[in-house]
Structure 1
Amino acid sequence: MFMGEFHHNIDAKGRLIVPAKFRAELEQGFILTRGMDGCIFGYPLQQWQKLEQQLQQLPLTKKKVRFFVRFFYASAGQYQLDLQGRVNIDPVLIEYAELKKDCVIAGVSERFEIWNAYKWAQISEQTAQSFDLLSEEMHDLVDFDL
């Protein structure tokens, strides 16, 4: 399980340090792909396989499904950590997420996200302002208590 918020710098070669707390789950490799809201999603291989099974169940007769699946898979790639615990991120993903020097790696349960630090600050502020309302909406969607 991925939890926490970590601030690291991406270097000119596209290498980013992965938090030490995440590395054990990623030793066998992992997948990075375009995420929602302008970030990169990272999945351990086992979790990616579960997600693939769910995506395969989507009806390809629906145009929006085809667009989503195509966009999601087209940027996906398998990665390994180097000996220093870094990942060398593909330039397509760096551009998509607008990664500059300052980055944030956020644990989000079964996946982690890589963010441009400025974007992360913006989305965190927006979420903090509406956190109570969001938790009420979550409760309405499912049997959910914080």
Structure 2
Amino acid sequence: MLIGEYQHNIDAKGRVIVPSKFREDLGECFYIAKGLDHCLFVFSPEEWARLQEKVRAMPISKARSLQRFFFSGAAEVAPDKQGRILIPQILRDHAGLTKDVTFIGASSRAEIWNTAAWNAFNDNLTEDSIAEAMDELEL
């Protein structure tokens, strides 16, 4: 399970260090794709395959937008010896990644955020919105 929050910097070439705990959980190579809320989703090979199967099982009329969104700009990446990955420009643009980057664990996936966008997202969360979502969990 991917949990936690980590701050890193992305360099001018688009490389960023992946937190070591995430590297352990994601494996030697993993997949990065456009995510919701202008972040990037990071999937282990197993979770990536699960996503592909779920999308393939959908009727094409519903699946085509998801296929285009998730798979068109996706990249398979492998950390170098320093634990860095190169994030393709199309994905950096989607998430607005320029310097300060926040990695978060989101259970079965990690997310990569522009730190200012992550902070703004959190500033907009309310106890009521969290309580409403928790009602769905029957907690």
Whether TM-score is above 0.5 comes out as: yes
The CA deviation at 1:28 is 2.8
**Correspondences of 1:1-146 after superposition (within 5 Å):** 1-62=1-62, 65-127=63-125, 130=126, 132-141=127-136, 143-145=137-139
Quote the RMSD (CA, aligned, Å): 1.3
Cα separation, 2, equivalents of 1:61 and 1:27: 33
Checking the alignment, whether the CA contact within 8 Å between 2:55 and 2:66 is kept in structure 1 is no
The one-letter amino acid paired with 1:108 is A
Q: Which runs of 5+ in 2 are unaligned?
A: none
Checking the alignment, whether the CA contact within 8 Å between 2:103 and 2:113 is kept in structure 1 is yes
> TM-score w.r.t. structure 1 length?
0.89
Per-residue CA deviation, residues 4-44 of structure 1 (Å, 9 max, x unaligned), is: 11000000010001111111123331000000000000001
Which secondary structure does the structure 2 equivalent of 1:107 belong to?
A: strand
The CA deviation at 1:52 is 1.1
> TM-score w.r.t. structure 2 length?
0.93
The one-letter amino acid paired with 1:144 is E
Question: Structure 1 residues 6, 58: closer, same or farther in 2, change over 3 A?
Answer: same
Cα separation, 2, equivalents of 1:139 and 1:25: 26
Per-residue CA deviation, residues 41-74 of structure 1 (Å, 9 max, x unaligned), is: 0001011111111111111124xx3122212110
Question: Structure 1 residues 59, 118: closer, same or farther in 2, change over 3 A?
Answer: same
Which secondary structure does the structure 2 equivalent of 1:95 belong to?
A: helix
Give the % identical residues.
Answer: 37
